[in-house]
Amino acid sequence: MSIATKTGDKGHTSLVGGSRVSKGDMRVEAYGTLDELGSAMGFARSICRHEKVAEATKQIQKELFTVSASLASPEDDKKTNRVTEAMVDALTRQVEEIEAVEGIVGDWVLPGEDTVSAAYDVARTVCRRAERVAVRLGDEGGDVDALAITYINRLSDLLWLFGRLVEKEKGIDAKLREGKGSSWAKAW
C-alpha cells in the first residue's frame, strides 16, 4: 500500500464520510490549518524542556485529531468523534492554573527572547489562523461544530501562556514596553 493514492491528483480530496471536494474548499483549509498547528506544536514540544508544558502539548496534539475530524465532517455525522465540553474545560483549567502564577499576565510580549517560547508563539499564531478559517467556514454556510471553535479559541490562549510560563521559569522578561503604563490589555 502506498500513501500516493493518486486520487487527489486533480485537486480534489475526500472528507470524512466520503464526499469529494476541492482541495481549496474552506473545510479542507480549516482542518489543514489544524494539521499545520499540530506540526508547529510538535516542534515546540520537541525543544521544550518544561516537562509539564511538553506533556500537555502532546495531549493537545492528540486531541487536535478529534478537532480536525469534527471540522472535516458535517455536524449531523454521528460517526465522527466531536469536541466535548470536557476537552474545553481541561484547556480552561490549564489557562486558569497558569494565569494564577504571579507575574504571568503583565504586558504584551516581544516574541523571540527564547527559542521555546518563540516556538509556542508561532503555534499560537497558527492556532489563531485556524480559528479564523473555522469561523469563516461557518460564516459561509458550512456546518461547523461550535465547540470546535471554542476549543481552538481556548487553545490559542493556552499556547500564549505556555510561552510566558517557559520565559518566566527561565527568568526572561520579554515585555514589549518598559516603565509605568505598561499594562496588559485584552485586545487580541
Domain harbouring 58, CATH code: 1.20.1200.10
Contacts for 74 with CB less than 8 Å, ≥ 6 apart: 17, 143
Residue 4's pLDDT is 74
Determine the structural domain holding residue 91 and report its residue range: 22-98+108-169
Decide if 153 is inside a domain.
Answer: yes
pLDDT at 55: 98
Residue whose C-alpha cell reads 520579554 in the numeric block? 174
Total count of domains within the chain: 1
Q: Which three cell numbers stand for residue 57?
A: 502539548
Whether 183 is in a domain gets the answer no
pLDDT at 75: 60
| 20 touches 12 (CB < 8 A) | yes
Q: Does a structural domain hold residue 140? A: yes
Closest CA to 140 of 4, 8, 29: 29
DSSP 132-153: HHHHHHHHTT----HHHHHHHH
Cα 87 → chain centroid: 13
- Tell me how far the alpha carbon of residue 6 is from its chain's centroid: 30
What pLDDT sits at residue 186?
Answer: 47
Does residue 117 belong to any structural domain of this protein?
Answer: yes
Residue 2 lies in a domain: no
Q: Does residue 5 form part of some domain? A: no
Position 182 in a domain = no
For the chain, give the mean pLDDT.
86
- Is 1 inside a domain boundary? no
Cα–Cα nearest to 181, from 70, 81, 107, 72: 107
What residues of the chain score a pLDDT lower than 50? 182, 185-188
